[in-house]
């Protein structure tokens, strides 16, 4: 456990799940979490690793998800790399810092994937229309392959509408949290008439409580 595998835009930490987590289908379920504004405070494009902080409820939330047999997968857009505000190295340092803090309190994620691109980035190497920037589905497909996931039984949690769009695009459910940009995004989505999230939660802890109550109702559309 705790061996880190790194590769282009990916850090994967594999740890065994209990046998009952994989259902008859042979496919596992996961909760996909956004990073900034969901797991941690949204600190803009901060260049200082120490500026990044997990929310206090993130540790118990992740512990509860794994205890309930969910894979926990983080997917994050880090366009600050393409914009030239910070390097991929900083992104990795932030992730290592979060991982060690989680581990200290008996929590962990299974993997974190990030997109460093942006179509109008200032750094040419990252300036592109990619398949991995949310709400594009590239990183979710990768996680699906690597963890053999049944996406219809997965739930996404994020503070932006792109997180909800991505969830619905892949046939999963989406929970909007009101931390980070959540409040502004929720107000805007109602003004614009965007298709609603499956649930709106005050924060990640409340989102996890909802997931644990409704997780077994399986597919999208099954819950009010």
* Site residues for Zn ion per CB under 5 A: 115, 117, 130, 132-133
The yes or no reply on residue 36 touching Mg ion (CB under 5 A) is yes
The yes or no reply on residue 135 touching Mg ion (CB under 5 A) is no
DSSP H/E element including 213: helix 204-214
- Taking the complex as a whole, how short is the minimal distance between the CB of residue 12 and Mg ion, in angstroms? 21
**DSSP letter string, 75-129:** EEE-TTTTTTSS-HHHHHHHHHHHHHHHHHTT---SEEEEE--BTT-SSGGGBS-
The yes or no reply on residue 198 touching Mg ion (CB under 5 A) is no
Question: How many Cβ atoms are within 10 Å of 128's Cβ, its own excluded?
Answer: 14
Cα four-point dihedral sign 159, 106, 56, 21? positive
Select from Mg ion, Zn ion, none the partner in contact with residue 34, using the beta carbon and a kind-dependent cut-off of 5 to 8 Å: Mg ion
User: Catalytic one among 20, 21, 34, 42?
Assistant: 34
Select from Mg ion, Zn ion, none the partner in contact with residue 197, using the beta carbon and a kind-dependent cut-off of 5 to 8 Å: none
Q: Which is nearer to Zn ion, 111 or 132 (by Cβ)? A: 132
Q: Which is nearer to Zn ion, 130 or 212 (by Cβ)? A: 130
User: Catalytic one among 20, 21, 36, 163?
Assistant: 36
- Give the 3-state secondary structure of residue 190: helix
Q: Which is nearer to Mg ion, 37 or 197 (by Cβ)? A: 37
Q: How many residues bind Mg ion (CB under 5 A)?
A: 4
Q: Which is nearer to Zn ion, 109 or 114 (by Cβ)? A: 114
Stretch that binds Mg ion, among 26-34, 46-54, 97-105, 117-125 (CB under 5 A): 26-34
Q: Which is nearer to Zn ion, 117 or 181 (by Cβ)? A: 117
Q: Within 145-184, which residues bind Mg ion (CB under 5 A)?
A: 159
DSSP H/E element including 170: none
Strand order in the sheet with 173-177: 4-7, 10-13, 111-115, 71-77, 30-33, 155-158, 173-177, 199-201
What is the spatial distance between Cα 177 and Cα 197, in angstroms, rounded to a whole number? Answer: 10
36 carries an active-site annotation = yes
What is the spatial distance between Cα 137 and Cα 143, in angstroms, rounded to a whole number? Answer: 10
Per-residue contact flags (x/-) with Mg ion for residues 44 to 83, judged by CB under 5 A: ----------------------------------------
In the numeric block, which tokens belong to residue 51? 């500026």
Point out the residues that are catalytic: 34, 36
Can you give the binding site for Mg ion, defined by CB under 5 A?
34, 36-37, 159
């Amino acid at each position: 456990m705790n061996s880190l595998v790194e590769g282009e835009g990916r850090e994967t930490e594999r740890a065994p799940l209990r046998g009952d987590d994989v259902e008859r289908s042979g496919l596992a379920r996961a909760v996909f979490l956004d990073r900034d504004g969901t797991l941690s405070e949204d600190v803009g494009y901060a260049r200082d690793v120490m500026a990044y902080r997990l929310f206090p409820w993130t540790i118990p939330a992740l512990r509860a998800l794994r205890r309930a047999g969910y894979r926990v997968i983080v997917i994050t857009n880090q366009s600050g790399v393409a914009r030239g505000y910070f390097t991929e190295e900083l992104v990795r340092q932030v992730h290592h810092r979060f991982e060690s803090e989680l581990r200290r309190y008996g929590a962990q994620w299974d993997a974190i994937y990030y997109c460093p691109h942006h179509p109008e980035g200032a750094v040419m190497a990252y300036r592109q229309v990619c398949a991995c920037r949310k709400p594009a589905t590239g990183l979710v497909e990768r996680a699906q392959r690597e963890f053999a996931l049944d996406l219809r039984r997965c739930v996404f949690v994020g503070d932006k509408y792109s997180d909800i769009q991505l969830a619905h695009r892949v046939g999963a459910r989406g929970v909007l949290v009101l931390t980070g940009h959540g409040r502004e995004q929720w107000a805007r989505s109602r003004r614009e008439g965007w298709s609603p999230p499956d649930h709106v939660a005050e924060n990640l802890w409340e989102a996890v409580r909802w997931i644990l109550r409704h997780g077994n109702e399986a597919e999208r559309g099954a819950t009010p």
